[in-house]
Amino acid sequence: MRLFIFRYVIAAVVAACVISAPAAHAQSRAETLRYVTGASVNTLDPNMPGTTREAFALSMGTYDRLVSFGRKQLNGKWVFDLDTITGELAESYSVSSDGLKLTFKLRPDAKFHDGSPVTAEDVKWSLDRCVTAPVLGKAQLLTGSMTSADQFKVIDPLTFEVTLPKPDKLALPNLATVYAMIYNSRLAKAHVTEADPWGINWLKENEAGSGAYIVESFRPGEQVIAKRNEAWTRGTPDKPAFFKRLIIQTVPEPATRANLIERGDADLVIDLQASDVQALEAKGKLKVISTPQYNAVTFISMNNRIAPFDNINVRRAIAFALPYDDMFKAALFGRGAPMFGAIWADGKPPSGGYPIPQPVKLDLDKARAYLKEAGMPDGFATTFSFNVGQASSAEPMAALVKESLEKIGIKVDIQKLPDAQMSTAINEKKLPFFTEGIVAWLPSTDYFYRNFYTGNQRWNYSSTDNAEIERIAQAARFEADKAKYEEEGRELNAIHFDQMFQIPLWQPAQDAVMAASLDGYVYQFTRQVDYRNLSRK
């Protein structure tokens, strides 16, 4: 008898759960965006050193900047547009005729999440913090000639002015990047301490923005849940963001992410394995938008100061000994924009952009000739390194590199390094031959050459030290004439190919896999999703 009652109770409980659970879900599901990722958000303030890319993406939604990038179509896909800058917190902006003064008129209706209005004082505090405090924004704003708090001036509560030492093309775009976000200075100042005058510790875990989304719960390494800010009307069509709720969830296993999106439990994922993307695209149930990451490049890099790669002919030999097509297929399943196999009509670069497809292809005879010219007809031995985090694409590629170089007598030892170890070795300039990628938020030719081909620093993978490159890139930075800038770009590209500092391989595609009902995806400079762009049909 007792057993019978017990059974009955269990059955009732189970039934209650099964019946009540799905009904509650269905209501909110269509208005919720569930985004799954292998990475995680580690801070609410992306200015903190060590911030992850997912945290950048979240902050684009929780905070506003003075201005933001527009969008343009590139081969039929929407991407961010560096050349169209629209107001975000600024209602309008103007650049003085000498290019030295940027004036911003703030929106009078803009409010922070606590209801207080956004004023020029908040803008000043935020940008002062960016160039003064030990935060990531410092190095970024430097690239737009903003280095000191003296450059930022409050004219009246709704007018703000930036003064530049030189007319810098990148000043305005810099104010649209992640770091130049505007904090609620009154709120932040209430939480500063003597040791931490810029509230770095407090802002890491508390959000003080005016953006489209308000953080509801933040569990680092697990998930972030945000709700829509109904008062936010700074999107392009002047209404709040579409999704009422935003769930950013960490799911480390790529196969599980693929399952979730295929079953319709997740709405959007951008970091699936290429093979899974291929399979999901073939099934045709989901929407797959593949955008070549046009502000990023993957290289095979050679340290120009370590023998034998200090020999220009060795570098050229390598460039003609790589099985580009096979590598592209094996590493990325051909998903991306190739940077090889171009034909330069008169041997000159056809464009001043960066990066552009190089006139290199697999040609072992040519490679052998270069090796002979380098005085090493019998080849040599070296190591080829890549990091564990890139293994799914780099591992098949490394095997092909090894196999092909063996044919011209170069013995390659493949070295797979944990991520931190790899970045340390690169920083210390210890690796002779490796694959790595770069990315620039503001992809202009001079920016790439200045940051990735000069100086004894981590991002100069090839340890290039070339006076010509440095001179032309510096001159191009402040070049106002578009035709001249293009010409300088061509010169830089010509030197790059001639000297073969390193070998650009491709721009990998960003494969955004999403529910068929999702609309409005734009490839952003952060290489992340801007949740404000998205809506459901």
Q: Which residues bind other proteins (CB under 8 A)?
A: 13-14, 16-17, 20-21, 24-25, 28-29, 32, 34, 36, 40, 42-43, 48-51, 134, 136, 138-140, 142-143, 204-205, 219-223, 225, 247, 249-253, 255-256, 259-260, 262-263, 265-266, 388-389, 418-421, 423-425, 427, 439-441, 451, 455, 457-459
Both structure tokens of 75: 């081969």
* CB of 42 vs other proteins, minimal distance in Å: 5
Q: Are 111 and 211 in contact (CB under 8 A)?
A: no
* CB of 126 vs other proteins, minimal distance in Å: 18
Backbone dihedral angles phi then psi of residue 164, each to the nearest 5 degrees: -115, 145
Residue type (1 letter), 483: A
* CB of 441 vs other proteins, minimal distance in Å: 5
Select 243 or 441, whichever has its Cβ closest to other proteins: 441
* CB of 11 vs other proteins, minimal distance in Å: 13
Select 108 or 389, whichever has its Cβ closest to other proteins: 389
> Given the DSSP bridges, would you call strands 336-338 and 502-514 parallel, antiparallel or unpaired?
antiparallel
* CB of 262 vs other proteins, minimal distance in Å: 8
Both structure tokens of 384: 């080829």
H runs (alpha helix) in 222-263:
254-263
Select 100 or 388, whichever has its Cβ closest to other proteins: 388
Select 172 or 317, whichever has its Cβ closest to other proteins: 172
Q: DSSP letters along 260-329, please?
A: HHHHTS-SEES---HHHHHHHHHH-SSEEEEEE-TTEEEEEEE-TTSTTTTSHHHHHHHHTTS-HHHHHH
Q: Which 3 state secondary structure label does DSSP give 132?
A: helix
**Chain centroid, CA 372 distance in Å:** 41
Both structure tokens of 522: 């734009």
* CB of 123 vs other proteins, minimal distance in Å: 21
User: How many Cβ atoms sit within 10 Å of the Cβ of residue 124?
Assistant: 18
Select 15 or 155, whichever has its Cβ closest to other proteins: 15
Select 448 or 497, whichever has its Cβ closest to other proteins: 448
Select 31 or 403, whichever has its Cβ closest to other proteins: 31
On the 0-12 / 13-18 / 19+ scale of CB atoms within 10 A, 201 is middle
* CB of 279 vs other proteins, minimal distance in Å: 13
Q: Are 410 and 384 in contact (CB under 8 A)?
A: no
